[in-house]
Amino acid sequence: MRRNTPLDLNRLQALNEALGIPLAIHDGADSTDEQYRHLIARGIAKITYASALAEAAAQRIHANARQDTRADYTSLLRDVRDAVSAETEHVITLLGAAGRAEEVSKTARVWHEVEHCIVYNSKNLGDSEVEQMMARGRASLSTIPGVRRVFTGRTLRPDAPYRYCWLVRFASPAVVTSYRDHPTHVAFADTQFRPQAANRISIDFEALE
């Protein structure tokens, strides 16, 4: 259910004027339609809406359960897709994105993905310690703008020249430099990865498809 969530629109306006960058709201699904319009007018460029879509699905399931208390799994999910689709269509129209596909396709840059590949060995760390280090890296590096996916792996061949790998997918070649210089990457690479991976090869590959 939509709620009239208290919003400090004057503060948002001041932030927008001071920062001059697109702003985002995480989980803004409790706002009313009129509040969305005020948010967009004051610089909000991204609104996370997943919880509202989940609520639309849940309401449809609850309605199905009330209609038939002995409904099976398939019956409970009846019309859930339509409910989510209707809510999606509503919010796309509300946020001013409906009917703009052609406009966006003419002005937006097409993703030209790059795979940042590193193979390496570690002399000082065992498998469990390397896995812990890579888990920390996945969590932090995946937050860097332009990073689409972070994969870490270990070879299946015990006699392979390199035991571990990183595969970091970038949205475009421009991300190679911004990722390299990003404080999050620099901090992780300098303090956790490079000291343990002196024997490594790093190559960037662009997609040919």
* Count of beta carbons in the 10 Å neighbourhood of residue 8: 9
Q: CA–CA separation, 34 vs 36, rounded Å? A: 5
Angstrom distance (rounded) from CA 64 to CA 69? 8
Domain spanning 9-106: CATH superfamily:
Aldolase class I (3.20.20.70)
CB 159 within 8 A of CB 197: no
Residue 22 pLDDT exceeds 90: no
Q: What is this structure's pTM?
A: 0.55
Residues 135-181: pLDDT tens digits? 999 999 999 999 999 999 999 998 999 999 999 999 999 999 999 99
Could you count the other beta carbons within 10 Å of the beta carbon of residue 185? 19
Q: Give the three-class secondary structure for 68.
A: coil
Residue whose C-alpha is closest to residue 31's, from 11, 51, 13, 17: 51
User: What CATH architecture applies to the domain 114-206?
Assistant: 2-Layer Sandwich (3.30)
Average pLDDT over every residue of 96-114: 84
Looking at every residue in the chain, the average pLDDT score rounds to 90
Ranges of each domain in the chain: 9-106, 114-206
Residue 128: is its pLDDT beyond 90?
yes
